[in-house]
Every structure is written in C-alpha cells, then in structure tokens.
Amino acid sequence: MDQVRIGLIGSRGRAEQLAPYWHRPDGRSVVVAAADVNADHLERFRQEINPAAFVTLDYRELLARDDIDAVAVLSPDFVHEEHAVAALRAGKHVYCEKPLAITVEGCDNILRAWKESGRQLMAGHNMRYVNLYRTMKGIVDSGAIGEIKAVWVRHFVGWGGHFYYHDWHGNSKNSTSLLLQKGAHDLDMIHWITGRYTKKVAAFGSLDFYGGDMPDDLTCPTCAKNDTCTDADFTHLNQCAFRREIDVEDNSMVIMELEGGIKATYLQNHFTPDYQRNYVFIGSEGRMENNELENKVYVKTRRSNKWHELSDVVYDVKHAEGSHGGADAVITRDFLDMIQHGTTPVATPLAGRMSVAAGVAATESIRSGGRVVQVSGLPAFV
C-alpha cells in the first residue's frame, strides 16, 4: 500500500495532536475523512487539516466508504468499544486511543473482532514512544540493574481538575475510573518496562477533593462563586468540578503483584499542585529512577561482581520535538509501519487490554473495601 487513507472517529482533542502527523498528502498517509457528533468540530477539522475531507455526524457513513483504509478511534472512552469493533468489522485497520475500552469485556470484544477481521489493530499507548521511558526500558533490558523485584510509581496529576473533573470523565459510567483513563498509561509502563503483567491487586481510594453537592448542570461561567473557586475553568471544559454526579476517585493507591513475583505500587493524586510522574525500579543489582522535570534517569548500582557495579550512571535524555515530547510523531509512524510493512507495533492491543484489566481490578478493590482482586488474564482466543 503506497499511501494509507485514514478516517478519524472523533475530530478534536487527541485528533488535533495526531492528525497533522498522518495528513501528509505527499507522504505515506493522508487523512481523508472525519466523523464527530459536533458539527463545529468537523468544520474546524476541515479548516485545519483537510478542506476536501469527507465529514459526517454518523461514523457509520465513514466506515461504509471504500476510499478509507484505516480508522483512528479518537472518541471518548465509553464509545471506544463500539467504534473499534464496528471499524474492524467494516474491514478497516484500527488505531484505538487508550484505554482500549472501559471494561475488560469491552476490550475482549475488540480483540475478538480484530482476530476475526484479518486487519491490524494498535493501542494508543504513546508513553511507550517517549524518549525518557524508552531509555528506562532499554536500561532494564540491558541488565544494568539485574532482575526487577520492586516498582514504585507516583503520579502527581497537577491538572487533574481541569483534565478530568470538568467534563464527562468525572462520572464512572463514562470512565469506570481514572485508574483506566489516566492510570492506563502508568500501569502499561509498569508492564512494559518489567516485561510482566499484573496478576492481583489490592487498592484504596476515595473522592477527597472534587465532587460535592453543586448542581450537575452548573458551569463555571454561570457560577456565582467563580471568582473565588479554586478550580474555576472558563475553557470549553467548564462543568462544575464539585457537582453531585462526580463519583470517580481523585486519590488512589494500588498494591500489585506481577508475574514472576514482582511487587509494585501505584499512587495517583489529582489535586496536587505539581505535574510529574516518578518511577522507581529496583532490581537485584541496582535501582533506576526517573526525574521528568529534569528529563533524566538515574541508575545506582550495588555489588554484583559485574562491571555495572563500578559506577552509577545519569542519563541526560535528549529532547524530541512535537506533541507529547515527540512521542506522537513516532507512534503515528509505527501505525503506518504496521499497516504497510506488517511490523508488530510497540503498543500492542494485548498490552492495551491488560492495562485496562489491571485498572478495572484495582477499581473493584477500592469499591469493595480494599480486598485482593485477581486480574483477568488474556482470553484463550488470542
């Protein structure tokens, strides 16, 4: 296939970041269509990406077109399953933004449609393409810190209110929990860097800051308290962050046991003032830790009777241009390589399914008082 013709389901948000990399009329791919439930979004898409593109308010019209080879599912989480399954059944290659779905059953329905379609499927876990985390993966794979035994991850979500509590994310019927929407990245990183999936979890969490008794239809611009509210937002994401319908935890702590007996912890907080991820991997021969603010990785070694013990190492990670620290340019290229050359993407659909499974199990544990929950393994048909 000389040039991949791509249609988008969902034309704003994530689409604004990915579409420019795919729309290269003189290159390997071109974005020829978009579907969205908002006509204004579609008009902006045509103005900014491709004035000649086919646009529709009904994604099924997009899937019915013969001039579309691949579909990028960039819609809200709660319709990923519907859109990805329909696209695969329509004979399209599919890029599905993370999380793959908001239930394990939804993920498995996508995987089943993938296997039956004979088409290619990729999960949108773009952290696998960030230089900082690619470096950490390489360090572990090199054996520099020996066999991984423990993982500690802290996620300070400094923009948690803006990102997740002013719109549909704050209600569990749309997201299950933020251990899927936000945590899917981190759970996937734990799986990817260790090379092991989670087997069981125990978790505690609660809604400690957001939510409350404000009306569900209240918006920041119309609120009498918007000049004193700590989380007033005047962008298009402006539903009150303290409204009654909000029921997803903003403060969560997860204990995990991975394959091979690896122990891990994941902490997520949405009302901290700073924004960063801190990862620590402890192996039999050393410890590795990142600093996102410095864009560095620190490796400290212990006695191992190997040359690694002779020095500690600081990796000064190189900056990459583009959205998400350069990751979006790489992940969009990986999608095209998968379609055109049959390569296996770094972000596999099976990995996407397992990050959801771990997040779902952790959410179940939180909402049942912290009991140990087994993580659903991959279905036999894959």
Tell me the percentage of the chain whose pLDDT exceeds 90.
97
Within the chain, strands assigned E span 4-9, 29-35, 54-56, 70-73, 93-97, 121-124, 148-156, 198-206, 251-258, 263-269, 276-283, 286-291, 296-301, 313-316, 373-374
Supply the pLDDT for residue 194: 98
- What per-residue confidence (pLDDT) applies to 237? 86
Average pLDDT over residues 266-276: 97
**Cβ(372)–Cβ(197) below 8 Å:** no
- Half-sphere CA count of 287, side-chain side, radius 13 A: 9
- In 3D space, the residue among 64, 76, 62 whose CA is nearest the CA of residue 32 turns out to be 62
* Mean pLDDT of the region 274-299: 97
Strands 296-301 and 313-316, sheet pairing: antiparallel
User: Which residues lie closer than 8 Å to 229 by C-beta, 6 or more apart?
Assistant: 220, 223
pLDDT at 293: 95
- Give the model confidence (pLDDT) of 346-379 as tens digits: 999 999 999 999 999 999 999 999 999 999 999 9
Q: pLDDT tens-digit profile of 41-92?
A: 999 999 999 999 999 999 999 999 999 999 999 999 999 999 999 999 999 9
The number of C-alpha atoms within 13 Å of 36 and in the hemisphere containing its C-beta is 22
Tell me the pLDDT of the chain averaged across its residues: 97
CATH class of 4-125: alpha beta
What tokens were used for 364? 């179940």
pLDDT at residue 98 in the model: 97
Q: Quote the pLDDT of residue 1.
A: 77
**Cα separation of 328 and 306, whole Å?**
38
In a 13 Å sphere around the CA of 40, the CA atoms on its Cβ side amount to 1
Pair 79, 103: CB distance under 8 Å: no
Q: Which two tokens stand for residue 248?
A: 């997803």
DSSP code at position 46:
H
User: Residue 224 corresponds to which amino acid?
Assistant: A
Tell me what the mean pLDDT of segment 284-301 comes to. Answer: 98
What is the enclosing helix (H) or strand (E) of 13?
A: none
Does the pLDDT at position 260 exceed 90?
Answer: yes
Instruction: Write down the domain spans for the chain.
Output: 4-125, 128-210+246-328+353-374
Gap between the Cα atoms of 342 and 336, Å rounded: 9
* Rounded CA separation 76/163 (Å): 13
Q: Is the pLDDT of residue 326 over 80?
A: yes
CA 259 – CA 186 distance, rounded (Å): 17
At the fourth CATH level, which superfamily is domain 128-210+246-328+353-374? Answer: Dihydrodipicolinate Reductase; domain 2 (3.30.360.10)
Binned at pLDDT 50, 70 and 90, residue 167 comes out as very high
What gap in Å lies between CA 265 and CA 273, rounded to an integer?
21
Average pLDDT over every residue of 234-238: 88
Say if residue 236's pLDDT is above 90.
Answer: no
Strand order in the sheet with 70-73: 54-56, 29-35, 4-9, 70-73, 93-97, 121-124
